[in-house]
Amino acid sequence: MYMLVHMCELYFSCSQLSKLQEVSLRNCVVSCAGDKGTIAKACPNIRRVDLSRNLLSSWDEVLNIADQLKHLEVLNLSENKLHFPSVSPSLAGTFPALKVLVLNRTGITWAEVLRCAPGWPVLEELYLKSNDISISERPADVLQTVKLLDLSSNPLIDENQLFLIAYLPRLEQLILSDVGISSIHFPDAGTGCKTAMFPSLQYLVVNDNQISQWSFINELDKLQSLRALSCVRNPLTEGGSGPQTTRQFIIAKIGQLKTLNKCEILPEERRGAELDYRKAFGNEWKKAGGHQDPDKNRPNEEFLAAHPRYQSLCLKYGAPEDGELKTRQPFLLKNQLLTLKIKYPNQVDQKVTEKQLLGSMTIQKVKGLLSRLLKVPVSELVLSYESPKMPGREIELENDQQSLQFYSVENGDYLLVRW
């Protein structure tokens, strides 16, 4: 077992120690701070220390280190089985400059976090992964500067406990991976309204949980500052709809989202997702009382609860028309051939042609086929279609990942190709 300063001396000369700002002593059997004042004398300028997986056993010993490192900004104490004080430590033992504190797998409880937190007056990032934490009380006058809180792999956490930290004023990132959460509800906000909870939360991580209902995603739209979401390896995202459709629905349901699962949501993707969502639930909307006439458009509460953004999407793009909501006929063969007439409205010298295409072909594949036939780059092609059943109505095929079947293209329809 070693003292922290002795381990530093093993690796650095005395002249180097005085200039040292960052040191990693992970898994180096460090057990104590050493004689009082020795750390401050040998390496007074340290700002970042990794003491993870050592033999530190007491928070008092950690405070002895802190008392000598007044410039310390980052401290990692993960995998030290620490004994925390039963009463609040003296304010003499504080971390005046500490911004990042990592306490993963230290056995700390939430009560102990709050007890020690007065000693972290400027803390911005707190990592508490894998501690079997249960949030038992609201932080009062502590953790008010925290911007990132990692509670991953604490399976005792539920939505009611999250409400206890919902008013941390500066919390921008909340990591809740692998906590077993399946539902959330913000009782202070009705359909289409924003909650006062988590006022600054911009990035939420809920990977590896038990989320299986779209109501969870609906509630996230109530977070006024949410811009980024990571939601992978949940029953909802691993289910039968397919990853692309699930992504589209999440984008459509959370209007202010800019990034999903670390992938930026470009404006054209948002537009396509919202239009597809609007069409996918159009018949359900009509059955619930939706109507193209604004004076008659009164979908019931059940529909609005399941699709809280649907009305705003109708305002944004217009209510779906009957022609868009044609009931798809059942296909005996998934890959049924469609005979389509292809027109080129902007090319007067191009004659109308007829071609058979698989109904399951994506718009991207149709564009690829036309690109080869016409010698025109795929990126320049814009597709839409007209149906004899809807004279004068042209429907854009704007989402390259959807199929002709999705857009209800039928035998005898006109495929319009522009570039």
CATH number of the domain encompassing residue 98: 3.80.10.10
Residue 6 is predicted with a pLDDT of 53
Token pair of 156 as six digits = 């005792």
Q: Is residue 35 part of a domain?
A: yes
Q: Is residue 181 part of a domain?
A: no
Tens of pLDDT, residue by residue over 178-219, are 999 999 999 999 988 999 999 999 999 999 999 999 999 999
3-state secondary structure of 325: helix
Q: How confident is the model at residue 331 (pLDDT cuts 50, 70, 90)?
A: very low
User: What pTM, to 2 d.p., does this model score?
Assistant: 0.77
Same domain, 1 and 130: yes
Give per-residue pLDDT as tens, 271-326: 989 998 999 999 999 999 999 888 899 999 999 999 999 999 999 989 988 777 76
Q: Are 280 and 402 in the same domain?
A: no
Better-predicted residue by pLDDT, 356 or 19? 356
In a domain, 257, yes or no: no
Q: How many domains does the chain have?
A: 3
CA atoms within 13 A on the CB side of 195: 20
pLDDT of the residue at 394: 86
CATH of the domain at 400: 3.10.20.90
Domain match, 297 and 358 both: no
pLDDT at position 68: 87
Mean pLDDT of all residues in 133-154: 96
pLDDT in tens, 89-118: 766 558 999 999 999 999 999 999 999 999
Structure tokens at 18: 């005085």
343 and 394 inside one domain: yes
- 10 and 58 both lie in a single domain: yes
Q: Is 162 left (phi over 0), alpha (psi -120 to 50) or beta?
A: alpha
- Within this chain, do residues 278 and 395 fall inside the same structural domain, yes or no? no
Same domain (yes/no): 51, 15: yes
Confidence of residue 148 (pLDDT cuts 50, 70, 90): very high
Once rounded to an integer, what is the mean pLDDT over residues 48-63?
93
Residue 110: CA count within 13 A, CB half-sphere = 19
Cα Rg of the chain (Å, integer): 29
* HSE-CB for 156 with a 13 A CA cutoff: 10
Per-residue pLDDT at 334: 45
Q: How confident is the model at residue 17 (pLDDT cuts 50, 70, 90)?
A: low
Q: How far is CA 166 from CA 162, 206, 220, in A?
A: 6, 16, 13
The domain containing residue 287 runs over which residues? 272-325
Higher-confidence position of 13 and 81: 81
Q: Does 39 lie in the same domain as 131?
A: yes
- pLDDT at res. 333: 43
Residue 408 has a pLDDT of 80
- Following CA atoms 123, 124, 130, 132 in sequence, which dihedral angle do they give, to the nearest 10 degrees? 60
Residue at 102 is within a domain? yes
Q: What is the pLDDT of residue 3?
A: 60
Which of 280, 302, 325 is the C-terminal boundary of a domain? 325
The partner residues of 385 in beta bridges, in order of sequence, read 395, 415
Flag whether pLDDT at 1 surpasses 50. no
List, for residues 237-282, the tens digit of each pLDDT value: 987 667 888 999 999 999 999 999 999 999 989 998 999 899 999 9
The residue type at 72? L
Integer distance in angstroms from the first to the last C-alpha of the chain? 74
Last residue of one domain, picked from the residues 281, 298, 325 = 325
CB 143 within 8 A of CB 121: no
Same domain for 132 and 64, yes or no, is yes
Q: Same domain for 277 and 400? A: no
Work out the average pLDDT over 136-155. 96
Residue 10 shares a structural domain with residue 77: yes
pLDDT of residue 188: 94
Distance of alpha carbon 301 from alpha carbon 390, whole angstroms? 32
Tokens describing residue 349: 């010298």
Eight-state DSSP code of residue 403? B
Is residue 143 domain-resident?
no
What angle separates helix 267-280 from helix 310-317, to the nearest 10 degrees? 110
Tell me, rounded to whole angstroms, the distance of Cα 399 from its chain centroid: 23
Are 355 and 319 contained in the same domain?
no
Rounded Cα distance, 397 and 29, in Å: 64
Distance CA 241, CA 245 (A): 6
168 domain residue, yes or no: no
